[in-house]
Amino acid sequence: MADAPQRATFYELQAENRRNSVLLIVGFLALVLFLGLGLDVFFLGWSPGGESGFGIPLATPFALLFGAVHASYSWFAGASQVLSSTGARPADPNDPLERQFENVVEEMAIASGLPKPATYVVPDPDPNAFAVGRDPAHAAIAVTRGLLETLDREELQGVVGHEMSHVRNLDIRAMTLVTALFGAAALLSDVARRGMYHSGGRDRGSSRRSGDGGGMAILFLVWLLVAALAPFVTRLLALAVSRSREYLADVSSAELTRNPLGLAAALRKIGAAHHPTRLITQGSAHLCITDPRGWSVNDREGEGAELFGTHPPLAKRIAILESMAGVVAPPAS
């Protein structure tokens, strides 16, 4: 049966997301440890031998504790934070369009065998959609009012199928984790850099005391670099994770609806709408079905676009979907 390899892929997708999540957490802990130890060594005068400064590293446990608390707070509150930052409100079952949206979400939940996610509407005229949540049982799918007004039922089903796939493949979980860790890492590196400005004097003293000025200076530079680049690198990471997931969610959507042309038509309409989705800001761009910053980013191709865009080019995604339906030959990638 043609379905067999796709089924396998879906488990592989989940497994890959689980693996990535573990790697992310390990990487995050390493980063926090590194930043914290750096603060201790360079600014608080602590050294592993323990002969100077405070007897115990103070900044390291503080950074760990702070990072853990901040990240777990975002982990649990992240979804509602994103929703409220976009101005999303629960879908109104008395409104015909929003009632249809709820029905379509329930249909896709049945098709994927998952609990029905909460449904939200963002009062923005530009068509877009996103999914958030830390696991399938606590997921939410939000669409803009513009999306409901632009798409017909089949197209909406394709879009909701795409979001449902993000839920099922645990993409939303990985994204919530990236966002939580990103926020904590950004704050910590900010604290680290502030620490540097405020205690420059002690820094010089401690590195002289350690008696290995050259080596320490290099270490210090590396530490500075990491502290400065940590948020940027985490951001690139989030983008990379998001991009690779979009094609897969498109394909999974077609697998759920058995109708790849519905999503293809939806993407075409969304792409033609051009306007940036004002209510959805930079921080949640990687969650959306197309880049909310507008057409210029969605149309771009090539290395730069592939590195900094949150989404693969729309034309490529449409071509893949149409090739699934046998309309055109698959695109050369």
Partner 1 sequence: MFMALLFLVGVAVVLALWLVGQFNVLVQLKNQVQNAWAQIDVQLKRRADLIPNLVNTVKGVMKFEQDTLEKVMNARARALGATTMKERGDAEAELSQGLGRLLAVMENYPELKANQNALQLQEEVTATENKVGFARQFYNDMVMKFNTAQQMFPGNLVAQMFGFKPSEFLAVPEADKAVPTVDLSLS
CA distances from 215 to 21, 138, 208, 220 (A): 34, 49, 11, 8
H-helix or E-strand containing 303?
A: helix 303-308
Tokens 């075409």: give the residue: 268
User: Is 163 an active-site residue?
Assistant: yes
- Pick from 330, 333, 327, 313: nearest CA to 267: 313
Give least dist CB 132 to partner 1, A.
23
* Catalytic choice (107, 163, 246, 322): 163
Q: How many residues bind partner 1 (CB under 8 A)?
A: 20
Amino acid letter for position 212? D
Q: Does 153 bind partner 1 (CB under 8 A)?
A: yes
* Residue 304 contacts partner 1 per CB under 8 A: no
Q: Report the residue from 13, 31, 111, 261 that binds partner 1 according to the rule CB under 8 A.
A: 111
Toward partner 1, which CB reaches closer, 111 or 227? 111
Return the residues of window 248-277 that contact partner 1 according to CB under 8 A.
256, 258
Q: Assess 16 for contact with partner 1 (CB under 8 A).
A: no
Residue 115 is a binding residue for partner 1 (CB under 8 A): no
Instruction: Report the residue from 47, 100, 199, 281 that binds partner 1 according to the rule CB under 8 A.
Output: 100
Residue 198 near partner 1 by CB under 8 A: no
Q: Which amino acid is at 270?
A: I
Answer for which of 40, 98, 107, 246 binds partner 1 (CB under 8 A) is: 107
Q: 135, exposed or middle or buried, with CB in 10 Å at 0-12, 13-18, 19+?
A: exposed
In order, the DSSP letters of 202-248 are: HHHHHHHHTT-HHHHHHHHHHHHHHHHHHHHHHHHHHHHHHHHHHHH
Active site residues: 163
> Residues interacting with partner 1, by CB under 8 A?
1, 3-4, 7, 96, 99-100, 103-104, 106-108, 110-113, 153, 157, 256, 258
